[in-house]
Structure 1
């Protein structure tokens, strides 16, 4: 699997439907390879997307309770959930929420190429 990972990383074009199909077929668990870091949170500046991430990791009730908060506050709550300070039965891993294969949009406001590419090949796979 390590060799396959390197070969894929070196030879396949990112952001196309083939990658989404392979990710689905190989049942890739991105949490093995990535966790959100300071750079990730520094780049997160959108209130709607931060709130959607908060809903993913802490549940809809927590997200709704923080919807009017600034992005900085929502990012702090997300971090607190991730390190276990504010875990709840609805809490889940942010890497799993963000890097699900197939990818999905966090907001309907704009396009998301990964989700759009998956939509092109989804019908080729049997549903589970």
Structure 2
């Protein structure tokens, strides 16, 4: 299964009763294994979970801590990028050169790297020597 197929399939499982905006994400870990996640809304809005965070949690729960590629898909008129918080979460496990493919259900795609999505990411260099 490709990253796009995994993200598309998991998107269908999103719990989005309030926004009706379903998002799916799939990440390829350093091992080549694909992990996926979907957004999970909560009536207490700030308590929801983004699709990217769900995919990262699945990867970490499986014992992996490195991602090599990301695919995010939503039913939107243009490709949807990860939110700021998810950009930081992705940067925790991926290098600046990691491609992030953002797609729509009608086939549009845009590719950027993590470094392009989050220039100046907060990282371990900021806390060295503490």
TM over 0.5: no
User: How does the TM-score come out when normalised to structure 2?
Assistant: 0.25
Choose between structure 1 and 2: higher strand proportion: 2
